[in-house]
Amino acid sequence: MPELPEVETTRAGLAPHLEGRRVTAAVLRRPDLRWPIPEAIEQVLPGQRIETVRRRAKYLLLDTAVGSALLHLGMSGSLRVLPADTPVRAHDHVDLALETGNGGVAQVLRFNDPRRFGCLLWQPSGETHTLLRGLGPEPLSEAFDGDHLFDLSRGRKAPVKTFLMDQAVVVGVGNIYAAEALFAARISPLRAAGKVSRERYAALADAVKAILGQAIVRGGTTLRDFISPDGAPGYFEQELSAYGRGGAPCPRCGRALKQASIGQRATVWCGHCQR
C-alpha cells in the first residue's frame, strides 16, 4: 500500500494542476470503490473551485468552499491529470472534469484503481469525516516528538513497532518506514512499547522525521503498483536498510538480519544492533 511519502508525492504533483481550478463535472463509471461514492461528488462538487490540495495521514483532500473530496489510493490507486480526450482504460473509475485553463486544453483528474481498495468520499465544510477522527499527529509536525511517544506508551505491552504504526499514536508511519526508523534508532521492533525510555523515543521520533523527509524528497518507495503522478516510480527502495532484507547482512554489523511477523506484517531487524 502506498505510504505517506507516496501520498505526499502525489499531493505535491497534483496541487499545481488543480488548485484554483473549478470542477465542471464528475463522471463515475461505477457507483463504488471500497465504499459507495456519495451523491455529493456528482451533485455538490461540480461548479466548485479547488482551493487547496492537502494531505491528512494517507488521505488526500480537495478542498472547496462547500466541502472536500476525500480520496485514498488504497493498494493500487493512482491519480493523473490528463487531457479530457485521453482514452479510458480498464479500471479508470472516476473523472473529475476541470475548467479549461489558459492553454485551452480540457483536462480531467482521473482515478484509476484496479483493486478498488481506494475510496472517493465527501466531507462537508466544517465537519470532520469519520475516517479522519481520532487520528494522531502528523509525523513531520511539531506535535510529534519523543515526549509524545513516551507519554502514550506508558503501560503498553504491545511491540513498539505495532505501537508506532497505530494511527491514533501518529499517522502515516506504515510498515516500511516503521522498520527503517526502528533500525536507525537501534530499537528492537519486539520490545514492549512501555519498556522504551524517553531518550530512545526521542531518537525514534527523530529517525521517523528524517527517514520520511528523505523519502518524500526522493519520491517515495517503489512499490509494485505505485507510480507517481508523472509516471515515474519512486526510488527510495534502493536505500532501505531493513525492510524486505531478511537474511541479508546488516548494513552496520554484517550479521544476518532477522525476520518475523508482528501483527501479521513482515518485520526485519538486526538482533545485534537493535535492542
d(CA 269, CA 179): 7
Task: Pick the catalytic residue from 49, 54, 116, 265.
Answer: 265
d(CA 84, CA 82): 6
Active site residue 89: no
CA angle 154, 156, 157 (to 5 degrees): 140
Active site residue 2: yes
Residue 224 annotated as binding site: no
Active site residue 161: no
Residue 123's contacts (CB-CB under 8 Å, 6 or more residues apart) are 61, 67, 68, 70, 129, 132
Task: Pick the catalytic residue from 11, 55, 58, 161.
Answer: 58
Name the residue type at position 30.
Answer: R
Answer for the pair 138, 236: CB distance below 8 angstroms, yes or no: no
Residue 115 annotated as binding site: yes
Task: Pick the catalytic residue from 2, 5, 159, 229.
Answer: 2
Residue 218 annotated as binding site: no
Active site residue 265: yes
- Mark the binding-site residues for DNA, compressed into ranges: 91, 115, 156
Q: Annotated active-site positions, please? A: 2-3, 58, 265
